[in-house]
Each structure stands twice: as structure tokens, then as C-alpha cells.
Chain A
Amino acid sequence: MFEEASEVFDNMFKSSFPLTFIVFIPAVLILVSPLPTEAAHEFTVYRMQQYDLQGQPYGTRNAILNTEARTVEAEVLSRRCVIMRLVDFSYERYQKALRQSAGAVVIILPKNMSTMPQDIVQQFMELEPEMLATETIVPVYFALEDDELLSIYTQTLTTSSSQGSSSAAEVLIHTATANGFQMVTSGAQSKAVSDWAITSLEGRLAGTGGEDLPTIVLVAHYDSFGVAPWLSYGADSNGSGVSMLLELARLFSRLYTYKRTHAGYNLLFFVSGGGKFNYQGTKRWLEDNLDHTDSSLLQDNVAFVLCLDTLGNGDSLHLHVSKPPKEGTTQYALLKELETVASSQYPEVKFSMVHKKINLADDTLAWEHERFGIRRLPAFTLSHLNSHREAQRSSIMDVRSVPYVDLRKLSRNTKLIAESLARVIYNLTEKQVQEEQLSSVVDWLTAQPRAAQLVDKDSSVVSTLEYHLGHYLKDVRRHYVKADKRDPEFVFYDQLKQTMNAYRVKPAIFDLLLAVCIAAYLGVIYLAIQHFGVLYSVVRRITAPKTKQH
């Protein structure tokens, strides 16, 4: 714009005076009048995090920029605003920009994250904490891409990339004529916000049946974290946890309205803020309740504290504990119920307990339950993540769409947890369908025939059924029906079971044949006996010579 103005001036002075005068005055007036802030393109940028935690500063320290735009391919980056697209983003380039003391870094993110390939998203997710860990004075901004921004980028890209490769003459022409962009932020320098209050919410459902009831605390932190605060949507971490907590609150409030389903446990719901900043909300709440109040539900009988963190996806559920629960305690009962419900009703869910001791030497606590553990309250966190260090717990990429929050899995997890909690609260460990019971009853019933003609009023089937019903019900009575004498509806007949014998028989001819054979045999015997004397004399003759020799 300035170049054009200078051209006009040149023309003014070269050509005739009066004409230029007519043109000159309005031009000057226009020029002098306050310029409307009309930029080539105006867009919202989101600054990277800047915070101090426990005295340690994180993130970028600066907010204002007023520098020329360059892309990372350019040679000279110092005091320039480096524009990068997410697809081209890499940690080396970022470091290069910072090392050359760039004036600022602007990272352009696509409007729709799901168009990005997963590996780029994953890589960026893992780089976010590293970007935050290195404290820098270079302001880093994020912008959402639109067509004009893209065109600005491509123009800057051609300018920057051509700088190195062209000849001196081209460079000279470029410096004079090229279209550059100046990036200016509208706001002021960043400063610390004083008296910022982090809000947490608590609510309760009182149990029935006397004083000193045990309390169950359900906790979820509602805040989110990412490399840029305005872009942290935190869908899975911890939007899923909060939505699950609200749903559980709704379910149990319904149950507690009716006297029959009002259980003997106090339910305390706590939606905590500042969760991503080392669970500040929970810490202060615990201090207030345990140190500064005379009596609170947290001081008396706490059965357990269940923290919900990142449950919107995945086919595994991990119960993170700092101390494995002992047998016989309510915490152990919850652990067992979670295992049982997961294995019997949701077999695709792999449930496991993860034991991690609280490490007070770490900068930040791992999970929210550790805050309670430090104050000696039995607590655990349920999450589908195996480790608290997973990148997706604190990423701007954690948005509503499918890789992070799958509604079916969230609702399945909610059902699982609600079922397990209900079983513990209502002591329903035996009040479920028992397969062994069913199978033994079916085995007994099918072991005998139960046709109507066979089951009379004294039969064991009837008496066993009567006994079994009498076990659980009142007023078990028998009722008989006999057929009407004159016009019977049904008539039964007997002789339903007989013994049949099969005898081996031979045909009649056989007996005759046998008689003939026996007659023949007897005839032979008769002859033999008649002529026994012959045998006798033969034997005598055989033995006789021997005796003669003697």
C-alpha cells in the first residue's frame, strides 16, 4: 500500500500542477484520515499455554507480535513470524525457529481434525508436552485454517523458499516487489491474572437408615488441557468422566427417590476444577473438609472414593490404585463386582487393576485418587488408559469425533460402572441370576418324566416344587383338579410302562429233529452198554499177557 502511495506522489510531482492538486488534496485527506484497520485478512489466533505450577513456569512468555511472516524454509528467521502448517510441523523445525530467535511462531491447524492422518495427529499429541516444557519467550500461536489463511501461507511459502535458491538479481527484484505479510496481534502483553477462582462443585444424596452411614464419593474433574487453552476441548479427558458422573448422579437420584430403592450409603458427587493442574480443586476441597470443618461426610465413614477419568473409548478398563484393597472391605467388593460384571455381561471389556504407589517426589500427581490417598482415604481411579502419562490426556487433538470419544463405548462403560456400583450399594452380590442354581433346577426337572398322567398328588416332583417355593414365598398352597364325572374333560389311561421279555425260541421242527438225534444217541448208548463185554475182554486181553509174564 505504501508503495502505491509513493507512486502516486511521484506522478503528482511529475505531471501538471492543477490536476494533481485536485487529486492530491483528497488523496492527502484520505491518507491522513484515520485509517480503518483493514487488514488483508483478519483471523483469530490462540496462544500457547502460559502458566506457573508450583513455581515452575511453563509455556510461552510473550503475547504480542508485529513481525513479517516467513515460513520455516526461509533462511533468515530471526525476528520474523514463522508460519507452519500442521502437516509440515515437526519438532526440529520448531526448534530451528526458536533457536534463530524467531519473532513468533504461528501453527495453522486444519478446521476438521479428522482429515489429518493419524500418525501426524499422534506425533503432534506427543510433542505438545515437550513444547510446553521448554519455557520460551517466543509467542506461539495456533490458528484454524481457512482459504485466505491458506493463500497467505502459500504466498509466504513461495517468498521464503525462493529466497535461498534464486540469483542475486531475482532476489533484488523480490525484495522490492514481493508481497509480504505483516502479522500483528491486537492485544497487549500477557500478564498474570490475579484472583482467578477455580470452581468445583459438590452435591450429595443422603442414604437411609440411621446415622453414620458409609459414604461413597464419586469424583471427576471437568477442566481440560492442551497446548493452547482455547483449543482444549478435552472430549475424552475428561469430558467423558464428567458426563458419566452426571449420568450416575441422575440414575442414583432416581433410585434414591423411592423408599424401596433408597440404600444405606451416602453418595457424594464432586466435579472438580483445576484437575489438569495437579488437582488443585480436589486438594483445596479436601483441606477444607478435613482440616477446617468440624464434621463433614469426608471425615466420617468413607467407604471409598471413585474417580472417573477418561472413559470415552477403548475396550479395556483399568482400576488404578495406590494400595491394593484388602479383602472384606467395600473397596474390595467394588473391585470384585467390576470384575464380575465385566466378565459376565461385557466380555469384550478387559478389566484389570493397576497398582502404582504414590510418588511424592514427582512434580505432579499421576491420578486424582492420589490426592485422596495422601489424606488416607481409600480411593481409586477408573480409566481406559493404562498410564497417566498418555499423551491424549492433555492434547488439543482430543475432540468429540470418533478416535477419542465413541458414544457406544462410553455408554457401555457407564452401564458397567453403574451396575457395579449398584451391586455394592444394594449388596446385590447374591441377587443376580445364578447359573448354578438354574442349572441344578433344570437338571433335576429333566431327570424324570413329568407327564401329567405320571405326576400324582403325592409325587416327589410336586412336593419338591412345593418345598422350593415355600423357601422364598409365603402362602404356598396346593390346588387340585379332577375330571368331571358325567362329562369328563380328560380321561387318562394306565399301563404306560411294561416289561417286555424276549425269549429265544427254536422252531417246532427243531424239537422233532432233536428228538430224532437223541433217539439215535440213546440207541448208540444202548448198543455200547450191551456190548460192554467186548471192551472188557479187549482190556483183559491187553492186560493179560503182562500178568502171564509175571
Chain B
Amino acid sequence: MTLFHFGNCFALAYFPYFITYKCSGLSEYNAFWRCVQAGATYLFVQLCKMLFLATFFPTWEGGAGVYDFVGEFMKATVDLADLLGLHLVMSRNAGKGEYKIMVAAMGWSTAELVMSRCIPLWVGARGIEFDWKYIQMSFDSNISLVHYIAMAAVVWMFTRYDLPKSFRLPVTVLLGLCVYKAFLMELFVHVFLLGSWTALLVKAVLTGSISLCSLFLFVTLVHSN
């Protein structure tokens, strides 16, 4: 029944994307190709990041149990390139803010889903051994979908020329949070020694709060004019 389990995980991971794509009205705009382009940009950005990390960051030679806070922080800083990539995608797409955000986010997160989750699921979930981590991985992909939507929204807001002064700070903070979310998560896990389900819950909460904040800001921005 392990193929069945793979089917379960795949459905759990992929269906929300499908549903989002369908219900957000992107299909009406023939945005499929644009999403693919966004996905390609994602690949390119990841490649650059990897090269950069490999060249400039030495391997950590410390003890196995010690968590290199500073090193990991520096590595997380490289994730700023994600923001640049998102900005690039959005700037190339003409249209309303929402459209841009959704296209960028969909393409980006789908590319991430395909690249980083499909193969582990195919190889692992089909095996005899049952592990909860595949279900968790699928949940995680759902969470990252929401996260990328929020991130794209924040980036869009950041680049707006008509952003009110009072919004600058929250937007910057949210931006920082988005970039360092992965780092923060690892920190939480390491310091509080969270279990895998608890970590997932914390991640969901964190992402939920970020997205809610960004939604508030977005709505305010859009409807203030």
C-alpha cells in the first residue's frame, strides 16, 4: 500500500496549489506560461545562491552538537536573493498588483514544490518504511505556499512608490521576517528542542501571522487610494 501512501502525500502537497490556481482566477488570465517563467526564475536564483554559498562560505568545522548561529545567520542572509528574484518576476509582469503577486507566488512555490519535495516523496514515501515526515513535508509545502504569497505581497508593497511613510517600518520588518523565517525556525527547534509536529505547528502559526499582517497592510494600501 505504499504507493497509496505516496498518493496520499502527493495529493496533500499538490492539491492546495491546484485549488489556489483554479480559484484565484489565474486560469482566466492564461497565466500558466507566466507561472512557468516564474518557476524558471526560481531555479536560476537558487543556482546563484548555491554558487555564492559554496564559494564564500567555508564549511563549518565545529563540533556536531554545536549550532553555528552566526554561520547560519549569514547563510540565511543570502536568501535575500529570493526577494530579488521575486521582484524581478513581478516587474516583468504587467497588470494589477494582485495578479502580479499571485503569478509570482504560484510559479515560485510550484517550482519549489517540484524541485524540493517531489523526489523525496517519490523515493521515500513509496518505500516499505513508514515515516511521518512525508506527511509533514506535504503540510510544509502548503505552508510555504502561503508564505510565498505573503512574501511576494510584501515585496510588491516595498517597491511601491506610493507607500506611506508609516508603512515603511512594518513592511521592512515583515520583509526581514520572511527572509529569516527559516533561520528562526531552526533556532526555535534547536533552542526549545521542539518535536517535528510542534515545529510544524509553530511554522504554521508564524507563517499565518506574517501573512495576516501582510494582508492587513495590503488591504490598507490598496484601498487607501
Residues on A close to B: CB < 8 A?
Answer: 503-506, 508, 511, 514-515, 518, 521-522, 525-526, 529-530, 532, 535-536, 539-540, 542-544, 546-547
In the bound complex, do residue A514 and residue B5 qualify as a contact, i.e. CB atoms below 8 Å apart?
yes
Cβ-neighbour of B16 out of A515, A522, A532, A536 (below 8 A): A522
Considering only residues 202-225 of chain B, those with a C-beta below 8 Å from chain A are 215-216, 219-220, 223-224
A540-B223, A542-B216 given; name 10 further pairs at CB < 8 Å.
Answer: A503-B127, A505-B130, A506-B130, A511-B1, A511-B5, A515-B4, A518-B8, A536-B215, A536-B219, A539-B215
- Known: A511-B4, A514-B5. Contact between A504 and B131, CB under 8 A? yes
In the bound complex, do residue A539 and residue B19 qualify as a contact, i.e. CB atoms below 8 Å apart?
A: no
Chain A residues in 8 Å Cβ range of B216:
539, 542-543
A521 CA / B11 CA spacing, docked (Å): 11
Instruction: For A504, list chain B residues within 8 Å (CB).
Output: 129-131
Give Cα distance in the complex from A539 to B23, angstroms. Answer: 20
State whether A525 touches B130 (Cβ < 8 A). Answer: no
B12 on the interface (CB 8 Å rule)?
A: yes
B128 touches A529 (CB 8 A): no
Given contacts A511-B5, A543-B223, contact A503 B128 (CB under 8 A): yes
Q: Known: A514-B8, A529-B23, A539-B219. Is A508-B1 also a contact (CB below 8 A)?
A: yes
Q: Is B196 an interface residue (CB 8 A)?
A: no
Secondary structure at chain A's binding surface: helix, strand, loop or mixed? helix
A514 to B4, CA, bound (A): 10
Asked if A543 contacts B220 (CB within 8 A), the reply is: yes
Asked whether A522 lies within 8 Å of B12 as measured between CB atoms, the reply is: yes
* A-B pair number, CB within 8 angstroms: 63
Distance to closest chain A CB from B73 (angstroms): 33
Say yes or no: B8 contacts A515, CB within 8 Å. Answer: yes
Shortest Cβ gap from A547 to chain B (Å): 5
Say yes or no for B198: interface residue by CB 8 A criterion: no
What are 25 inter-chain pairs, A to B, with CB distance below 8 A? A503-B128, A503-B129, A504-B129, A504-B130, A504-B131, A505-B128, A511-B1, A514-B135, A515-B4, A515-B11, A522-B16, A526-B19, A526-B23, A529-B16, A529-B19, A529-B23, A532-B23, A535-B215, A536-B215, A539-B219, A540-B223, A542-B216, A543-B216, A547-B220, A547-B224
B67 at the interface (CB under 8 A from A): no
Contact across chains for B16 and A525 when beta carbons are under 8 A apart: yes
How far is A274 from B213 in the complex, measured between Cα atoms in Å? 119
Query: CB of B52 within 8 A of chain A?
Result: no
Residue of A nearest to B16 (CB): A525
Query: What residues of B have a CB within 8 angstroms of the CB of A542 in the complex?
Result: 216
Residues of the B chain whose Cβ atoms lie less than 8 Å from the Cβ of A515: 4, 7-8, 11
Q: Is there contact, CB below 8 Å, between B220 and A525?
A: no
Q: Are B219 and A522 in contact (CB under 8 A)?
A: no
Distance from B54 Cβ to chain A, minimum over Cβ atoms (Å): 34
**Lowest 10 CB-CB distances: which A-B pairs, in order?**
A503-B129, A503-B128, A543-B220, A511-B4, A529-B23, A506-B130, A511-B1, A539-B219, A522-B15, A518-B12
Q: Complex: how many Å from CA A504 to CA B128?
A: 8
Q: Is B20 an interface residue (CB 8 A)?
A: yes
B130's partner among A503, A530, A540, A547 (CB-CB below 8 A) is A503
Q: How far is the CA of A547 from the CA of B217 in the complex (A)?
A: 12
Question: How many whole Å from A267's CB to the nearest CB in chain B?
Answer: 68
Are B1 and A529 within 8 A (Cβ)?
A: no
Do A543 and B4 have beta carbons less than 8 Å apart?
A: no
* Shortest Cβ distance from residue A220 to the other chain B in the assembled complex, whole angstroms: 72
Interface residues of B in 142-172 (CB under 8 A from A): 142
Query: Closest residue of chain A to B164, judged by CB?
Result: A550
Cα of A200 to Cα of B218 in the assembled complex, Å: 126
For A540, list chain B residues within 8 Å (CB). 219, 223
Residues of A within 8 A of B23 (CB): 526, 529-530, 532
Q: For the complex, what is the distance from the CA of A542 to the CA of B16, rounded to whole Å? A: 27
Which chain B residue shows the least CB distance to A525?
A: B16
B19 and A525 within 8 A (CB) = yes
